[in-house]
């Protein structure tokens, strides 16, 4: 802890002007007095000076200086000559006039006997952003006018390099006095070697700053993804996110994506990328250290986070992190030992992303720090708690998520592992004892391990997980070192198999291996990180293995989908049936399966009928992209009907009335379809009078007789629908047809226009005097015909005028019923009858069968 002794003096308003005594750190001093009950507020005593202005001629091209408010910050800090910033990259142009004066000795790890000269240009671009010499009337101004840039060449002229040299570059920088290391390069996957060196830098109080990458996706490259590395993304000049910049849970800050900077050969150029954003943050960190030289690396990291401009949704988000780098705020705003307050309640939990180290503070037994972590998959969350001071009391962690809320003791310097479910999880830190207010600063780091997939343990071929031999998709993970997943399928039917492995993250570069038991394995690794691998092959009866691995054996946070498509080659049980004399005999209502196993394949089938039938033929499960034909032929192979599947159709339907006899079905194709079995089915219905729905009906004979006389017709589907209600227009049409009325009467009904299908027949029936309209002028052509209307209609057609004498023939007819005379005479002469209960039910609708029976009786009188 810093000493409580301070130097003080009073201005005229009795405000205390205080500063830490010699030998006491500014941060510790400020933290102590911020929590003092005697202090009402603390503000920095800013130095007043004339605003700095650089005279570099290309300054106006450096829009990022204004965007990050660096120019305003120059009035306070424009240099840090006591600090060394290492640029681990392609080297630096050692003779560039705008850089040469700011360079310190570096190293060439690619060619150790040569100086770290830039043969690509990237490292020179980065160096210029940080510390091109400012106010020298040349070129541009770096964010720092004076600073020590250490060029470390770890990359080839192509801009690529090995992980070992990247790690060696970081270690060299730390061991040779660098305070900040800029890494505008990265990997898509974790590496234990690099992870160890990153932690070494943190332990030595060296700040690592890295670009997130430019892969246009939700993936932060390593080393930016490590908890202690400040990860920097990119934004445009209008403060919107640059869509090519990587984003994700490990993102800390964003800075301008496009810069104008130094180039090799003493030149200048525009460059863009997150690799141009990262050095801006490095320069800002050096400016902070110039003002607060006693700050720790994690405090500088936290200060840059808490002073960022929140340009997106409130608080941290995975697209902009904590916000846009603001150099002026970093130099002017007070450092907060706990930037996440207030977060004493679960409802006020602050976002905390996986893979980050954060700094916060507990101030006593009543203080609770709640954080919310959004977990991308089920798995294990590992938390590490550390501090520069011993905790004044035991610490506990509460985890809320999944099955409930649980509390665990959490000792600083140890790792606590929590089983977490995908989605939102909350954690809280607090002292176990209700102690007096005592400030304790801590750092909390997190890492995540994905769940173990349900197919484990299948890391060896003899442990392969057995899958059924069919098309399917399984989802797996690589949750442990050296994880490689084996699957097995045993086929009884030959066919074609297509295997595809698709990862959901660029951190997985999948490798697919396929092998038939006892034969040579085939390995497929054709594509880059995050891309799918695909392989198709022919299978025969036997066992096949699929191995899903990846190029790097370390675990990966992500899932892969193994999609297997199996297209069996079927054997046609009816072959040979390519000729009519080889035709397969089939029966109605039985499904027959076959295969077009070769191009121009023809399959014949044969059936026999002993009576006239309507044959309904169905061919299903045929491919829509292949021309399939169905031909129906007579016993002499003469054509009866032929049909081809419409574009995209996977079935053919055909209905044909056939007389007794033997018939052939010829199926043909223009190309082989060996991986699909078609289904052929015929169904027969006995035809009576060309109708399939009157067999056994009480009016069967009457309907068939009228059909034979071409008086009645069906509905075009070989159906008469005998029990359906007949309409007035249908009844009139049958009467006109049966009695041969030809004369028309010029009448007009609003509901029977000339375009109505029954218009002609209605005019003939009106002329014949057998029907009339309703009092409101309508004819109601689609209305149902009642039984009494049927009786009157036929009475008029045969000239029955009705009689008054005689008994009432039906129990439901009164003496004053309007049609009683006609009903009496029609009943007496045997034209109509009632029901068994002596009723006639005059207002009931007439069915088509009833009308047909009455019509036949009248015609055959």
Can you point out the beta strands (E) in 320-435?
350-351, 357-362, 369-375, 379-386, 395-401, 404-409, 415-420, 423-431
Can you point out the beta strands (E) in 432-577?
440-450, 465-466, 472-477, 485-491, 495-503, 510-516, 522-524, 533-539, 542-550, 559-568
What class does CATH assign to 59-332? alpha beta
For 421, counting Cβ atoms within 10 Å of its Cβ (0-12 exposed, 13-18 middle, 19+ buried), the class is middle
- Neighbouring residues of 139: CB distance < 8 A, sequence distance ≥ 6: 56, 57, 58, 97, 98, 132, 262, 268
Report the alpha-carbon distance of residue 703 to residue 851 in Å, rounded. 10
Sheet of 673-686, strand order: 592-596, 673-686, 613-620, 651-658
Q: What is the DSSP letter of 529?
A: T
C-alpha closest to that of 219 among 193, 252, 251, 253: 251
| CATH code matching the domain that covers 461-568, chosen among 2.40.50.140, 3.40.50.2000, 3.30.70.920, 2.60.120.380 | 2.60.120.380
CATH number of the domain at 580-686, please? 2.60.120.380
Containing 284, the helix (H) or strand (E) segment is helix 274-291
Residue in 96, 122, 298, 399 annotated catalytic = 122
pLDDT for 716 beyond 90: no
Mean pLDDT confidence for 632-657: 93
CA torsion sign for 50, 56, 57, 59 is negative
pLDDT for 54 beyond 80: yes
- Neighbouring residues of 423: CB distance < 8 A, sequence distance ≥ 6: 374, 375, 401
Contact call for residues 732 and 761 (beta carbons, < 8 A): yes
Residue 572 DSSP SS3: coil
pLDDT for 860 beyond 90: no
Report the alpha-carbon distance of residue 286 to residue 764 in Å, rounded. 106
Report the alpha-carbon distance of residue 597 to residue 607 in Å, rounded. 23
Establish whether 122 is a catalytic residue. Answer: yes
For residue range 558-598, list pLDDT tens digits in order: 999 999 999 888 888 899 999 999 999 999 999 999 999 88
Most confident of 89-98, 186-195, 388-397, 801-810: 89-98
Contact call for residues 420 and 402 (beta carbons, < 8 A): yes
Q: What is the pLDDT of residue 39?
A: 57
Contact call for residues 486 and 551 (beta carbons, < 8 A): no
b/e code 346-375 from CB counts within 10 Å (16+ = b)? eeebbbbbbbbbbbbbbbbbebbbbbbbeb
Q: What is the pLDDT of residue 163?
A: 86
Residue 127 DSSP SS3: helix
Structure tokens at 229: 């590395």
Q: Are strands 404-409 and 395-401 parallel, antiparallel or unpaired?
A: antiparallel
Residue in 31, 56, 78, 89 annotated catalytic = 89
Got the DSSP string for 492-504? Answer: SS-EEEEEEEEES
Report the alpha-carbon distance of residue 557 to residue 552 in Å, rounded. 13
- Neighbouring residues of 297: CB distance < 8 A, sequence distance ≥ 6: 202, 205, 206, 207, 228
Q: What is the pLDDT of residue 238?
A: 94
User: What's the first-to-final CA gap in the chain, in angstroms?
Assistant: 125
Residue spans per domain, the chain? 1-45, 59-332, 346-450, 461-568, 580-686, 700-859
Establish whether 589 is a catalytic residue. Answer: no
Report the alpha-carbon distance of residue 166 to residue 183 in Å, rounded. 9
- Tell me the C-alpha to C-alpha distance, in Å, between residue 304 and each of 233, 333, 490, 561: 14, 10, 59, 40
pLDDT for 517 beyond 50: yes
Same fold, 346-450 and 461-568: yes
Contact call for residues 402 and 381 (beta carbons, < 8 A): no
Predicted confidence band at 34 (pLDDT cuts at 50, 70, 90)?
Answer: low
CATH number of the domain at 346-450, please? 2.60.120.380
pLDDT for 2 beyond 70: no
Structure tokens at 480: 């442990």
Q: Are strands 379-386 and 440-450 parallel, antiparallel or unpaired?
A: antiparallel
Q: Are strands 207-211 and 180-183 parallel, antiparallel or unpaired?
A: parallel
Q: Are strands 79-89 and 639-644 parallel, antiparallel or unpaired?
A: unpaired
Q: Are strands 522-524 and 267-272 parallel, antiparallel or unpaired?
A: unpaired
Q: What is the DSSP letter of 97?
A: T
Residue in 258, 275, 447, 449 annotated catalytic = 275
Report the alpha-carbon distance of residue 750 to residue 522 in Å, rounded. 80
Predicted confidence band at 541 (pLDDT cuts at 50, 70, 90)?
Answer: very high
Out of 89-103, 180-194, 449-463, least confident range:
180-194
- Identify which has the larger pLDDT, 261 or 30: 261
Residue 670 DSSP SS3: coil
Q: What is the pLDDT of residue 719?
A: 92
Report the alpha-carbon distance of residue 288 to residue 304 in Å, rounded. 9
Return the percentage of the chain with pLDDT > 70, whole number: 94
Report the alpha-carbon distance of residue 388 to residue 667 in Å, rounded. 85
Establish whether 618 is a catalytic residue. Answer: no
pLDDT for 16 beyond 60: no
């Amino acid at each position: 802890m810093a000493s409580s002794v301070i130097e003080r003096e009073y201005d005229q308003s009795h405000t205390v002007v205080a500063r830490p005594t010699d030998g006491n750190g500014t941060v510790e001093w400020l933290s102590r007095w911020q929590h003092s009950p005697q202090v009402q507020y603390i503000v920095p005593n800013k130095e007043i000076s004339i605003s700095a202005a650089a005279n570099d001629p290309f300054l106006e091209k450096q829009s990022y200086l204004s965007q990050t408010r660096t120019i305003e910050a120059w009035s306070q800090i424009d240099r840090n000559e006591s600090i060394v910033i290492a640029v681990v990259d392609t080297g630096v142009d050692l003779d560039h006039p705008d850089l040469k004066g700011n360079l310190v000795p570096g190293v060439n790890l690619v060619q150790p006997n040569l100086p770290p000269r830039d043969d690509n240009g990237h490292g020179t671009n980065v160096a210029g952003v940080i510390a091109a010499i400012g106010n020298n009337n040349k070129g541009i101004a770096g964010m720092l006018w004076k600073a020590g840039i250490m060029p470390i060449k770890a990359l080839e002229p192509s801009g690529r390099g090995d992980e070992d040299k990247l790690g060696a570059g970081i270690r060299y920088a730390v061991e040779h006095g660098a305070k900040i290391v800029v890494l505008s390069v990265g990997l898509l996957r974790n590496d234990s070697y690099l992870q160890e060196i990153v932690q070494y830098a943190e332990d030595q109080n060296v700040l690592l700053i890295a670009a997130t990458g430019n892969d246009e996706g939700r993936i932060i490259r390593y080393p930016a993804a490590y908890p202690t590395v400040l990860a920097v993304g990119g934004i445009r000049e209008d403060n919107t996110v640059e869509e090519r910049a990587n984003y994700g849970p490990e993102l800390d800050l964003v800075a301008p994506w496009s810069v104008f900077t130094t180039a090799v050969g003493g030149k200048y150029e525009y460059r863009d990328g997150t690799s141009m954003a990262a050095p801006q943050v490095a320069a800002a960190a050096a400016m902070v250290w110039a003002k607060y030289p006693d700050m720790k690396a994690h405090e500088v990291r936290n200060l840059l986070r808490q002073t960022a401009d929140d340009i997106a949704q409130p608080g941290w988000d995975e697209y902009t992190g904590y916000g846009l780098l603001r150099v002026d705020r970093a130099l002017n705003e007070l450092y907060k030992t706990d930037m996440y307050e207030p977060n004493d309640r679960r409802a006020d939990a602050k976002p905390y992303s996986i893979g980050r180290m954060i700094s916060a503070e507990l101030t006593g037994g009543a203080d609770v720090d709640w954080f919310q972590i959004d977990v991308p998959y089920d798995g294990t969350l590992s938390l590490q708690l550390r501090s520069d001071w011993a905790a004044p009391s035991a610490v506990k962690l509460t985890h809320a998520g999944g099955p409930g809320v649980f509390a665990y003791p959490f000792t600083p310097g140890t790792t606590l592992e929590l089983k977490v479910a995908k989605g939102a999880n909350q954690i809280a830190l607090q002292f176990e004892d209700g102690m007096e207010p005592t400030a304790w600063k801590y750092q909390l780091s997190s890492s995540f391990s994905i769940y173990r997939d349900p197919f484990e343990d299948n890391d060896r071929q003899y442990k392969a997980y057995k899958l059924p031999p069919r098309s399917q998709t399984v989802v797996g993970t690589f949750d442990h070192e050296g994880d490689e997943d084996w699957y097995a399928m045993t086929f009884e039917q030959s066919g074609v198999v297509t295997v595809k492995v698709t990862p959901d993250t660029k951190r997985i570069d999948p490798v697919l291996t396929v092998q038939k038991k006892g034969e040579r394995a085939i390995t497929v690794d054709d594509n880059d990180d995050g891309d799918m691998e695909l392989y198709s092959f022919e299978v025969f009866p036997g066992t096949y293995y699929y191995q899903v691995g990846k190029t790097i054996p370390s675990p990966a946070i992500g899932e892969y989908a193994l999609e297997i498509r199996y297209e069996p080659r079927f054997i046609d049980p009816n072959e040979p049936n390519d000729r009519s004399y080889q035709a397969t005999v089939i029966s109605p209502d039985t499904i027959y399966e076959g295969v077009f196993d070769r191009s121009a394949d023809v399959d014949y089938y044969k059936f026999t009928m002993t009576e006239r039938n309507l044959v309904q033929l169905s061919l299903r499960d045929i491919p829509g992209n292949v021309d399939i034909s169905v031909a129906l032929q007579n016993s002499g192979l003469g054509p009866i009907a032929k049909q081809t599947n419409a574009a995209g159709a996977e079935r053919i339907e055909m209905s044909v009335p056939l007389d007794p006899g033997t018939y052939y079905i010829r199926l043909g194709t223009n190309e082989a379809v060996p991986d699909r079995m078609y289904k052929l089915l015929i169904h027969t219905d006995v035809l009576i009078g060309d109708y399939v729905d009157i067999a056994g009906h009480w009016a069967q004979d009457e309907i068939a007789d009228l059909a034979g006389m071409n008086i009645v017709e069906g509905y075009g589907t070989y159906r008469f629908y005998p029990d359906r209600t007949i309409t007035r227009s249908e009844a009139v049409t049958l009467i006109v047809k049966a009695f041969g009325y030809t004369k028309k009467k010029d009448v007009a009904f609003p509901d029977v226009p000339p375009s109505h299908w029954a218009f002609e027949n209605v005019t003939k029936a009106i002329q014949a005097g057998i029907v009339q309209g309703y009092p409101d002028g309508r004819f109601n052509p689609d209305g149902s015909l009642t039984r009494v209307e049927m009786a009157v209609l036929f009475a008029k057609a045969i000239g029955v005028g009705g009689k008054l004498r005689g008994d009432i023939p039906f129990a439901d007819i009164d003496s004053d019923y309007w049609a009683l005379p006609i009903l009496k005479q029609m009943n007496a002469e045997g034209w109509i009858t009632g029901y068994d209960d002596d009723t006639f039910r005059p207002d009931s609708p007439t069915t088509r069968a009833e009308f047909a029976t009455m019509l036949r009786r009248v015609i055959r009188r």
